[in-house]
């Protein structure tokens, strides 16, 4: 298939962008402020608005467009092999609490969509965690047992309705797939109708805790609020050093129309085999259905990785080999953060915080996690904590199960911080950077530079030091972005922040500076 047949963009973000909300242009005083306009942020703002509080939601770009706009939009309490993992690391009671909170999130979305009349392509269906290798069925049996013990009506099955051979699966009925932007744009409209405020293109760059707390945007305007929720996917204000316990991972997604007359079974399907494979279908404007396939986890910005382009190719090839006549028409990538014990961090921003809260670390399940966290945080703020608040408390640390993973993450970040500053590239000068490619140049002038040559041949130069903690970014040619391998910040070729935890753009550099002496990494 020719590359020109593909659209670089998710199915969800191509939907009508909806009303454009204003930027924050003056100082305001509110009861509560929420930073971040994705699933977690909009749900938190909605739940707080329902209590009668005056709430401002502040988003750096457009609401429901970032991470939430690039998911595969599966809402399920069955999440891979989460229950056997949580039972091993946190115990049976925690697994039960996790199951109850996640299933409650699925049901809450269904009720909201029905009660508010949100047309979001909601479809109830079965969720499957499957394997194709018979040697892996023991893990499936363990997960089915753990999910049932946690209170879910899960079943072990050896008949999986996929168009290719499988060995076994866990099946859970009554789960949901939907159009996340249609849901969130509708919920945002209800939020405003009930008195909430939404500000887009207003990046928050500073948080001063107190009573009230004070947020400051890059334009210098402030929001004073009694309570603040940081729902920026990766916390841009990390007073509890959660970045030491979060691992960013990126996955690629391909989609295309199912051939006329073909049938793909109803259901949401996931396996950890082949570096993760996830499949679901979605309606296509009344013209059949689209197949959506996700997989190929990798660390953003890792220069030793095979690269996003190779990941897209591998996933497309895998899908075409299993679904006859499947053609990829759309491709995009999604990013999420994984905690050291497989349970998100939702609660107080740090142990001494009374009025600042955080939601992060959803591990690929940010839709159910975002709904859950919105309800949990609203309960903490209003003095009615949920039964599972302790489960998600960010300050938790379990030495026997978490410390090895924590040390591994810190060793990995330290390796990038030091090792990526050492020479060892595949080019000699800026002349070796071809159109569409990028490289980090080890110049003597203003430090390492991130240089991209666009299709016209023009060069774009910015500092290669991530503005979060100073790690060196690397180029993702498939998505034309600079990415930090330490904590997952992403930037445009001119340095603009695309994804945090960074809140400041890459520094501009002088185009005439001496930075052509050594090229370390290029797309």
pLDDT digits (tens, 9 = 90+) for 52-65: 999 999 999 999 98
Per-residue confidence (pLDDT) for residue 139, from 0 to 100: 96
Q: How far apart are CA 476 and CA 309, in angstroms?
A: 8
User: pLDDT by residue (tens digit) across 430-443?
Assistant: 888 889 889 998 76
Torsion angle, alpha carbons of 23, 29, 31, 32, to 10: 40
- Cα–Cα–Cα angle for 72, 42, 55, rounded to 5 degrees: 175
Per-residue confidence (pLDDT) for residue 173, from 0 to 100: 97
Cβ–Cβ under 8 Å, residues 452 and 437: yes
pLDDT band at 128 (very low <50, low <70, confident <90, very high): very high
Pull the structure tokens for residue 212: 């009230």
Q: How many C-beta atoms lie closer than 10 Å to residue 504's C-beta?
A: 14
Q: Is the pLDDT of residue 402 over 70?
A: no
Helix H or strand E encompassing 230: strand 222-230
Per-residue confidence (pLDDT) for residue 430, from 0 to 100: 82
Q: Is the pLDDT of residue 447 over 70?
A: yes
User: pLDDT by residue (tens digit) across 333-365?
Assistant: 999 999 988 899 999 999 889 899 999 999 999
* Torsion angles phi and psi, residue 190, rounded to 5: -65, -35
**3-state secondary structure at position 218:** coil
* Torsion angles phi and psi, residue 400, rounded to 5: -65, -35
User: Can you list the positions of beta strands (E) in 399-477?
Assistant: 438-441, 449-453, 459-463, 474-476
pLDDT > 90 fraction of the chain, expressed in percent and rounded: 69
Q: Is the pLDDT of residue 165 over 90?
A: yes
pLDDT band at 30 (very low <50, low <70, confident <90, very high): very high
Name which CATH class applies to 420-523: mainly beta
pTM for this model (two decimals): 0.89
Q: How many C-beta atoms lie closer than 10 Å to residue 410's C-beta?
A: 13
Name which CATH class applies to 3-8+120-177+245-339: alpha beta
Q: How far apart are CA 58 and CA 203, in angstroms?
A: 7
Tokens 């009573």 locate to: 211
307: alpha, beta or left? (left if phi > 0; alpha if psi -120 to 50): left
Torsion angle, alpha carbons of 124, 129, 132, 137, to 10: -140
Among 194, 88, 177, which residue's Cα sits nearest to residue 127? 177
Helix H or strand E encompassing 55: strand 55-58
Cβ–Cβ under 8 Å, residues 188 and 63: yes
- Cα–Cα–Cα angle for 361, 486, 240, rounded to 5 degrees: 50
Q: Is the pLDDT of residue 289 over 60?
A: yes
Residues with Cβ < 8 Å from 311, sequence gap 6 or more?
252, 296, 298, 478
Pull the structure tokens for residue 305: 């990785």
Rounded mean pLDDT, 263-286: 92
The conformation of residue 432, written as its DSSP 8-state character, comes to G
Q: Name residue 461's beta-bridge partners.
A: 451
Per-residue confidence (pLDDT) for residue 199, from 0 to 100: 98
Per-residue confidence (pLDDT) for residue 445, from 0 to 100: 60
Among 467, 437, 465, which residue's Cα sits nearest to residue 451? 437
Give how far the C-alpha of residue 312 lies from the chain's centroid of Cα atoms, to the nearest Å: 18
Pull the structure tokens for residue 363: 């591990």
Q: How far apart are CA 519 and CA 331, in angstroms?
A: 30
Among 26-40, 140-154, 236-250, 390-404, the range scoring the smallest mean pLDDT is 390-404
pLDDT band at 388 (very low <50, low <70, confident <90, very high): very high
Residues with Cβ < 8 Å from 299, sequence gap 6 or more?
247, 248, 249, 250, 305, 485
Among 418, 399, 434, which residue's Cα sits nearest to residue 470? 418
pLDDT band at 197 (very low <50, low <70, confident <90, very high): very high
User: pLDDT by residue (tens digit) across 307-331?
Assistant: 889 999 999 999 999 988 899 999 9
pLDDT band at 421 (very low <50, low <70, confident <90, very high): very low
List for the chain the helix, strand, coil content (%; round to 5): 30, 30, 45
Per-residue confidence (pLDDT) for residue 444, from 0 to 100: 58
Q: In the chain, where are the structural domains located?
A: 3-8+120-177+245-339, 420-523
Per-residue confidence (pLDDT) for residue 291, from 0 to 100: 95
Rounded mean pLDDT, 420-431: 54
Q: Is the pLDDT of residue 412 over 90?
A: no
- Between 499 and 225, the more confident residue is 225
Average pLDDT score over the chain = 89
User: pLDDT by residue (tens digit) across 485-520?
Assistant: 988 999 999 999 998 899 999 999 876 655 554 444
Rounded mean pLDDT, 136-155: 97
Q: How far apart are CA 464 and CA 484, in angstroms?
A: 9
User: pLDDT by residue (tens digit) across 55-109?
Assistant: 999 999 999 988 888 999 999 999 999 999 999 989 999 999 999 999 999 999 9
């Amino acid at each position: 298939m020719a590359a020109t047949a593909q659209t670089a963009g998710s199915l969800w973000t191509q939907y009508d962008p909806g009303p454009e909300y204003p930027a924050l242009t003056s100082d305001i005083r509110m009861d509560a402020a929420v930073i971040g306009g994705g699933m977690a942020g909009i749900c938190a703002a909605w739940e707080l608005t329902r209590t009668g509080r005056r709430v401002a939601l502040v988003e750096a770009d457009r609401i429901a467009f970032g991470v939430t706009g690039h998911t595969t939009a599966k809402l399920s309490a069955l999440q891979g092999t989460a229950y056997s993992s949580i039972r091993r690391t946190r115990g049976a009671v925690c697994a039960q609490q996790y199951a109850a909170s996640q299933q409650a999130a699925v049901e809450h979305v269904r009720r909201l969509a029905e009660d508010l009349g949100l047309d979001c392509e909601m479809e109830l269906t079965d969720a499957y965690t499957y394997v194709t290798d018979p040697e892996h069925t023991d893990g499936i049996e363990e997960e089915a047992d753990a999910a049932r013990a946690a209170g879910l009506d899960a079943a072990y099955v050896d008949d999986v309705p996929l168009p290719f051979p499988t060995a076994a699966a866990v099946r859970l009925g009554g789960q949901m797939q939907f159009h996340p932007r249609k849901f969130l744009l509708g919920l945002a409209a209800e939020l405003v109708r009930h008195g909430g405020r939404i500000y887009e293109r207003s990046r928050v760059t500073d948080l001063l805790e107190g009573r009230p707390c004070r947020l400051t945007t890059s334009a210098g305007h402030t929001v004073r609020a009694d309570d603040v929720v940081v729902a920026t996917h990766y916390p841009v204000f990390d007073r509890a050093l959660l970045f030491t316990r979060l691992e960013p991972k990126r996955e690629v997604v391909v989609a295309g129309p199912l051939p006329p007359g073909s049938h793909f079974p109803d259901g949401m399907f996931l396996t950890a085999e082949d570096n993760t494979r996830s499949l679901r279908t979605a309606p296509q404007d009344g013209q059949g259905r689209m197949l959506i396939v996700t997989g190929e986890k990798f660390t953003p910005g890792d220069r030793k990785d095979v690269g996003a382009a190779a990941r897209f190719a591998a996933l497309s090839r895998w899908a075409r080999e299993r679904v006859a006549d499947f053609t990829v028409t759309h491709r995009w990538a999604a990013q999420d953060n994984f905690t050291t014990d497989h349970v998100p961090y939702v609660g107080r921003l740090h142990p001494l915080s009374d009025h600042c809260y955080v939601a992060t670390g959803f591990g690929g399940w940010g839709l159910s996690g975002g709904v859950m966290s919105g309800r949990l945080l609203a309960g903490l703020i209003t003095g009615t904590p949920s039964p599972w608040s302790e489960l998600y408390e960010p300050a938790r640390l379990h030495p026997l199960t978490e410390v090895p993973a924590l040390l591994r993450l810190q060793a990995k970040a330290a390796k990038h911080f030091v090792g990526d500053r050492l020479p060892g590239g595949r080019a000699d000068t800026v002349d070796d950077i071809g159109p569409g490619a990028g490289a980090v140049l080890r110049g003597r002038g203003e430090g390492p530079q991130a240089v991209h040559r666009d299709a016209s041949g023009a060069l774009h130069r910015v500092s290669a030091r991530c503005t979060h903690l100073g790690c060196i970014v690397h180029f993702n040619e498939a998505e034309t972005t600079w990415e930090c391998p330490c904590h997952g910040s992403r930037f445009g070729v001119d340095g603009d922040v695309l994804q945090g935890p960074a809140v400041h753009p890459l520094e501009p550099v002088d185009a005439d500076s001496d930075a052509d002496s050594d090229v370390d990494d290029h797309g």
